Amino acid sequence: MDSISLPSGGVPKNLELLMDVPLNVSVRLGGVRMQIRDLLKLNKGALIEMEKEADDPLEIHVNDRLLAYGEVVMIKDKLGVRITDIVSLNERLENLRG
């Protein structure tokens, strides 16, 4: 993974110890609620229709907490996500409260 440049001013000393803590980042395409009987009918080639529209932004979660929204991009031969919006500080704090 490429390094990410920090804002000018760097990292406050009291946060320096946290800079190497690994976090789980996931990108969520969408979801749908299904009954068990419908899950059991799924087989190879089955299609699952999501509740989101095709052009809706993807959700980017860090440790299961919503951080940002993005769109799918190709980076050489791999998938990537371009961040298009970051949730406000108030929303992030609210997400931490659960």
Provide the whole-model pTM: 0.73
Q: What are phi and psi of 3, to 5 degrees?
A: -75, 150
- Give the residue with greater pLDDT, 14 vs 38: 38
Q: What is the pLDDT of residue 96?
A: 72
Mean pLDDT calculated for residue range 14-19: 80
For residue 15, is it within any domain? no
Query: What gap in Å lies between CA 83 and CA 10, rounded to an integer?
Result: 22
For residue 88, is it within any domain? yes
Looking at the structure of the chain, the number of domains it has is 1
Mean pLDDT calculated for residue range 7-30: 82
Quickly tell me which residue has 């190879």 as its tokens.
44
Which residues span the domain enclosing 43? 24-97
Q: What is the pLDDT of residue 60?
A: 96
For residue 62, is it within any domain? yes
Cα separations (Å) of 97 from 1, 24, 73, 75?
A: 30, 18, 32, 35
- Whole-number mean pLDDT of the chain? 87
Q: Which domain CATH number covers 64? A: 2.30.330.10
For residue 5, is it within any domain? no
For residue 68, is it within any domain? yes
**CA dihedral over 43, 47, 52, 58, signed as positive or negative:** positive
Tens of pLDDT along 39-71?
999 999 999 999 889 899 999 999 999 999 999
